[in-house]
């Protein structure tokens, strides 16, 4: 739901599985770096890759929130005994966290589900992701109906005993979860779903040049960041 806003700023997102992989790898790599300068160089490098790949606007939006936050926590860390290097490390790490989250923000659940199926995951796994995302608005709608039902019945925080109020909230929601899952399971079956991995994938997600480029750039960056100090020694 919130993703819609952010996705709009990225015209052509990367392949979803690549995004996940990059985020994971970048994070692990970044956390293993021992000194502040290398870390900050790495983070800056990542930012550059973002811009080259077309995520510039997204980067700007994230930077606006993350950099001040990281600075604040970094200063606190420095003051509380980390010293300059400790503060910079923390600053770097929070920024890293923010950047890798950006990878995640560009993932569209439909694309992720398709990519998972292409990668060989059982169709039911991809489908359950879709079902979960799909059901959230339905259940939020039920919550709204429940609120209306409570108003119409005159139930309110002030006048109704808690055990009745809680039932009025929870029981209809649970019932909707049960009826919804039965209805969905039936819908799957009546559309001939058997979990067969050989079923067609309507719009498979392709790997574009952009994806390969990102991969290459990441590799270069990481080897550069890791290699240079080693070379210098």
Q: How many residues in the chain?
A: 233
Count the neighbouring beta carbons within 10 Å of the beta carbon of residue 52: 13
Token pair belonging to 68: 């001040």
DSSP string over 103-149: HHHT--HHHHHHHHHHTT--HHHHHHHHHHHHHHHHHHHHHHHHHHH
- Structural contact between residues 46 and 29, judged by C-beta atoms closer than 8 angstroms: no
* CB 48, min distance to another protein, A: 21
> In the complex with another protein, which residue's Cβ is closer, 176 or 221?
176
CB of 220 to another protein, least distance (A): 23
Judged by CB under 8 A, the residue of 75, 121, 149, 213 near another protein is 149
Interaction residues for another protein, span 37-76 (CB under 8 A): 73, 76
Q: For residues 118-129, b (16+ Cβ closer than 10 Å) or e, as one string?
A: eeeeebeebbeb
Q: Nearest CA to 45 among 92, 90, 106?
A: 92
Q: Report the residue number, 53 or 112, with the smaller CB distance to another protein.
A: 112
CB of 228 to another protein, least distance (A): 22
Residues 18-37 that bind another protein (CB under 8 A): 20, 23-24, 27, 31
Stretch that binds another protein, among 46-54, 56-64, 182-190, 206-214 (CB under 8 A): 182-190
Which residue from 101, 179, 106, 97 is spatially nearest to 145, judged by alpha carbons? 179
Shortest distance (Å) from residue 24 CB to another protein: 8
Nearest CB to another protein, comparing residues 28 and 223: 28
Largest Cα separation within the chain, whole Å, is 76
* C-beta atoms surrounding 181 within 10 Å: 12
Contact range with another protein by CB under 8 A, out of 44-52, 57-65, 96-104, 214-222:
96-104
H or E stretch including 159? none
Least spacing, CB of residue 107 vs another protein, in Å:
5
Question: Total binding residues for another protein by CB under 8 A?
Answer: 94
Per CB under 8 A, does 94 bind another protein?
yes
């Amino acid at each position: 739901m919130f993703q819609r806003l952010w996705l709009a700023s990225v015209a052509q997102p990367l392949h979803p599985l690549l995004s996940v992989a990059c985020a994971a790898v970048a994070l692990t790599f970044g956390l293993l770096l021992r000194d502040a300068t290398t870390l900050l160089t790495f983070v800056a490098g990542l930012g550059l890759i973002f811009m080259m790949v077309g995520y510039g606007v997204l980067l700007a939006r994230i930077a606006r929130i993350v950099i001040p936050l990281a600075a604040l926590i970094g200063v606190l860390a420095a003051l509380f005994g980390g010293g300059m290097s400790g503060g910079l490390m923390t600053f770097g790490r929070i920024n890293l966290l923010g950047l890798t989250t950006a990878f995640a923000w560009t993932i569209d659940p439909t694309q992720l589900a398709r990519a998972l199926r292409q990668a060989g995951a059982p169709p039911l796994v991809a489908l359950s992701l879709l079902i979960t995302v799909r059901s959230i608005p339905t259940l939020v709608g039920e919550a709204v109906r429940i609120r209306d039902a409570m108003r119409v019945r005159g139930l309110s925080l002030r006048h109704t005993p808690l055990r009745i109020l809680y039932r009025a909230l929870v029981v209809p929601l649970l019932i909707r979860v049960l009826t919804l899952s039965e209805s969905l399971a039936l819908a799957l079956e009546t559309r001939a779903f058997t979990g067969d991995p050989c079923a067609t994938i309507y719009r498979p997600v392709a790997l574009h040049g952009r994806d390969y480029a990102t991969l290459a750039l990441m590799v270069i960056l990481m080897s550069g960041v890791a290699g240079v100090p080693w070379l210098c020694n």
